[in-house]
Amino acid sequence: MLTKGDDYPLHQTPEPIAYVGGNRNFYDRYFFNGYNADGSVFFAFALGVYPYVDVMDGAFSIVIDGQQHNVIASKTMSLERLTTQIGPLALEIETPLEQLRIRCDDAESGIACDLVFTAFIPPHEEPRFIRRTGAQLGMDLTRMMQNGTWSGSIKVAGVVKDVSPTSFQGTRDRSWGIRNIGAPDAQPNPAATGFQFFWIWAPLNFKDFSIHYFVNQDAAGDAWNENAVLIPKALGEPEIKMKHFDYEQDYEPGTRFAKNARIHMTSADGETYQIELQPKWNFYMKGLGYGHPTHRHGGYHGDLSVIRERYELNAVSPENIHVQAMCDAMLTTSKGQEQGQGVLEQLVIGPHAPSGFTELMDFA
């Protein structure tokens, strides 16, 4: 079957663009977040394409006045990947790798936005993620990240808030490949033991540059994928890739959330970068479909499904462990100290020896 994508010179096999090979878990996904200078307003948007199961889904969330408002939508894609609108949600690529636009217009919830992301650093390609359990490929994906500013407006409960590039910045990522989606496999994997996943992702913004760090660790605390880089805002300036890096955090009692965190990095020329992260509050990723109890990524919900939710941030139970914490960041180098901000994404499931966790869901 031919679709709009077949008019673009993007084919990599003799098949039409609509056909993606044999792995049902193939996905193609966008994620964005944005926040103001004092971290009191935070929003996020996601849109995922799942060609093998013919589903597209997305969500818009905003945190304001201690509440997280979510609009989550899903549709049957009818093989057409380039129609990136799902009910009240829409995504437009205005200039590839530079400027993208997100929109939400949901009359029932009273939530609306029209926002443009403009990159101030080039896209950074993270090291490829590959993870197997026995014979099964659980994860094989490429992801890029990019920081930038936001402009436009957001409307919640009849109140319109202007978003200007002088006061709002944030991060987007773009990933594609294989990751578990939709309904789980009915047949157990004989090689599977208890589930374990330790994930930290920290895109941070400072005056003249961004710092990006992430790590995946196994149950023993050994990293199986990790990277740290400083990306200047000045056009043409090269990335500074870190030669050595380490991460540690303290936990809020009774949770798996960071009370504080520290990133230690050293570049090839010997400069040290010490970052202290102080979380202020948590954004709950289930509002974008990550681990959602009914609307997980790639699930089938008919021709079109739209749901609305609202969380009181101080009343969300600690079992909702996938979060992005809004953080103040203090960077110390040989040149002195500099204040920045960003998010600390955390997903810690199962045993993790450095944290003292021995079960699927025990807490600090």
Contact 352, 358 (CB under 8 A): no
- Sorted by sequence, the CB contacts under 8 Å of residue 114 that are 6+ apart come out as 101, 103, 152, 153
Instruction: State residue 253's pLDDT score.
Output: 96
pLDDT along the chain (364 residues), means of 10: 92 89 92 96 98 98 95 98 98 98 98 98 96 89 97 95 97 96 86 89 98 98 97 93 97 97 97 98 97 96 98 88 98 97 98 97 95
Query: In Å, how far from its chain's centre is CA 344?
Result: 10
Q: Is residue 6 part of a domain?
A: no
Query: In Å, how far from its chain's centre is CA 49?
Result: 15
Q: Is residue 303 part of a domain?
A: yes
Q: Is residue 98 part of a domain?
A: yes
b/e burial code for range 288-301 (CB count within 10 A of at least 16 → b): bbbebeebbbbbeb
pLDDT in tens, 27-78: 999 999 999 999 999 999 999 999 999 999 999 999 999 999 999 999 999 9
Q: Which residues are 245's β-sheet partners?
A: 265
Contact 77, 304 (CB under 8 A): no
Instruction: State residue 185's pLDDT score.
Output: 83
Q: Is residue 259 part of a domain?
A: yes
Q: Is residue 48 part of a domain?
A: yes
The residue whose two tokens read 């599977």 is: 192
Closest C-alpha among 161, 167, 164, 169 to residue 151: 164
Q: Which residues are 306's β-sheet partners?
A: 73
Q: How many CB atoms lie within 10 A of CB 98?
A: 15
Neighbour-count burial of 70, counting CB atoms closer than 10 A to its CB (0-12 exposed, 13-18 middle, 19+ buried): buried
Closest C-alpha among 329, 354, 46 to residue 198: 354
- What is the count of structural domains for the chain? 1
Q: Is residue 304 part of a domain?
A: yes
Q: Is residue 4 part of a domain?
A: no
CA distance 62 to 40: 11
Instruction: State residue 136's pLDDT score.
Output: 86
Q: Is residue 13 part of a domain?
A: no
Instruction: State residue 192's pLDDT score.
Output: 77
CA distance 178 to 58: 18
Query: In Å, how far from its chain's centre is CA 227?
Result: 16
Q: How many CB atoms lie within 10 A of CB 268?
A: 10
Contact 118, 149 (CB under 8 A): yes
* Structure token digits, residue 48: 């995922």
Sign of the CA dihedral 185, 188, 190, 196? positive
Q: Domain range for residue 303?
A: 28-175+194-355
* CATH code for position 227: 2.40.370.10
Instruction: State residue 326's pLDDT score.
Output: 98
Task: List own/partner pairs for 197-201 with CB under 8 A and 24 or more apart.
Answer: 197/347, 197/348, 197/349, 197/350, 198/347, 198/348, 198/349, 198/352, 198/355, 199/345, 199/346, 199/347, 199/348, 200/247, 200/249, 200/261, 200/344, 200/345, 200/346, 201/343, 201/344, 201/345
